[in-house]
Amino acid sequence: MKHVLFLICTLFSFVLFAAETVAPPNDDESKVPKFELPDPLVMADGRKVDSVKMWTEQRRPELLKLFQEHVYGKPTLTEINMKAEIFETAPVFDGKGIRYQLQLVFFKGEQPLQNDPKVDFLIYTPARKNGNKKFPIFLGLNFMGNHTINADPEIRLAQTIWNRSNGQQLPAKDEERGKQSRRWQLETIFAHGFAVGTAYYGDFEPDFNGGIKHGVRRLIYKNGETPNPDDGNAIATWAWGLGKMLDAVTEFQDKLNIDPKKACLVGHSRLGKTSLWAGAIDERFSVVVSNDSGCGGSALSRREFGETVHRINNSFPHWFCGNFKKYNRNVNALPVDQHELVALIAPRPVYIASASEDLWADPQGEFLSAFYADPVYRLFETDGFGGVTEMPPVNQSVGNRIGYHRREGKHDIIEFDWIQFLKFAQKYL
Ligand code: GTR
């Protein structure tokens, strides 16, 4: 089955990108090239990083800058303001929870204008039975609109849902309600004492090459202006959006009964790449979870297993910064690799999840990022990956402050994954 899926992904990419020859994807471990990873604890000038102070003041900023320049791009939305309001609050699920709906409006200057970009932000908390304590929250973006995360008929329908393969605008439909509820296990989340907040990623920026004109970035790139090769692109925009969602939670923390110091990021696939980047740039997030994030997420680029840098840049030219494309045919020249992205989250708890049949995302490469980030967690005198050295059997959660599992099955985020994430976050919050 997994090989059939791999073949489908491969054929699909061939058809789409026949114009530029990209090496056929490899799913054979014995064909992984030999490579040398950059050492997260060695500065670009060769000095060894031997203290938390040196990491925090010198190496971390250096690495962050390298990732900005060569992979995800620099922040470009720093001058965008946000106005947030809660437009609805109601008890839900027979009194088991509370639904809050917020609108976030983004603008330049003093006041928003009529047509400024807007994002609907949906939050559920368990009913208020947490004593004096505010709830911790999982924050993540969704793929198909807030109304798809639960069958709750009161979730406001998105203005527009974007077809990501052709950029077409479609109306959100009632019959799509709850379509993605398997990926948003509200009952399980409540049972572990967590709130959850989500927004449609297409509200921040639709996910196609050209989406820049329709999301928040239309405020800064006017009249067809295009980003510089080191400007942040779609992933950077979504990651920025997660930070804005946390701003709103912080502003309304008393009304929402949520503790913004206990905010956990979660994301699946391209949104797992996004949660890692958001967690790296924004230290307010206390726990970071990425699920099946693959290439440009937690998988090591130098392994060139499954999806490669060349392929991802061809398929999704709008995700990473322009400079990332320089490495399409020479991934070993990248000054960083993805274990260092995980390390940027240190000493905060980070959890990486793979799925056994998701070879496209390279489970072994995802595991190795966790493994090679460990020395940085050790520098902080934490137990990092907890001495794990080998890929664990399926469905077994391992590690410590760096957590990992490889769920049996395909590319997805399901209850099993959520239970591990929730238990992991509980341990640290
Ligand atoms: C695939 C892509 C992956 C992953 C996935 C997803 O087409 O090759 O990098 O992001 O989509 O987001 O579901």
Widest Cα–Cα separation across the chain: 61
**pTM attached to this predicted model:** 0.95
Q: Is the CB of 295 under 6 A from ligand 1?
A: yes
Probe residue for ligand 1, chosen from 304, 307, 362, 411 as the CB with the greatest number of ligand atoms within 8 Å: 307
Report the pLDDT value the prediction gives residue 17, as an integer from 0 to 100: 47
Q: Is residue 11 part of a domain?
A: no
Phi and psi angles of residue 164, each rounded to the nearest 5 degrees, phi first = -75, -15
Q: Is residue 17 part of a domain?
A: no
Q: What's the 270 CA to ligand 1 centre distance in angstroms? A: 6
Q: How far apart are CA 264 and CA 64, in angstroms?
A: 20
Range of the domain at 210: 38-428
**Six-digit token string for 170:** 């479609």
Residue whose pair of structure tokens reads 């996910």 in the numeric block: 207
Q: How far apart are CA 305 and CA 31, in angstroms?
A: 9
Probe residue for ligand 1, chosen from 360, 362, 411 as the CB with the greatest number of ligand atoms within 8 Å: 360
Q: Is residue 317 part of a domain?
A: yes
Of all protein residues, the one whose alpha carbon is nearest to atom 10 of ligand 1 is 270
Q: Is residue 271 part of a domain?
A: yes
> Is 195 in contact with 184 (CB distance < 8 Å)?
no
**Six-digit token string for 386:** 């907890």
Q: Is residue 25 part of a domain?
A: no
Over residues 92-143, the pLDDT tens digits come to: 999 999 999 999 999 999 999 999 999 999 999 999 766 779 999 999 999 9
- Provide the percentage of residues in the chain whose pLDDT is more than 90: 93
Angle at 280 between CA 277 and CA 284, to 5 degrees: 115
Q: Is residue 169 part of a domain?
A: yes
CATH number at residue 292: 3.40.50.1820
Q: How many domains does the chain have?
A: 1
Q: Is residue 27 part of a domain?
A: no
- In the 8-state DSSP scheme, what is residue 229? T
Over residues 352-403, the pLDDT tens digits come to: 999 999 999 999 999 999 999 999 999 999 999 999 999 999 999 999 999 9
> Is 282 in contact with 317 (CB distance < 8 Å)?
no
Q: Is residue 98 part of a domain?
A: yes
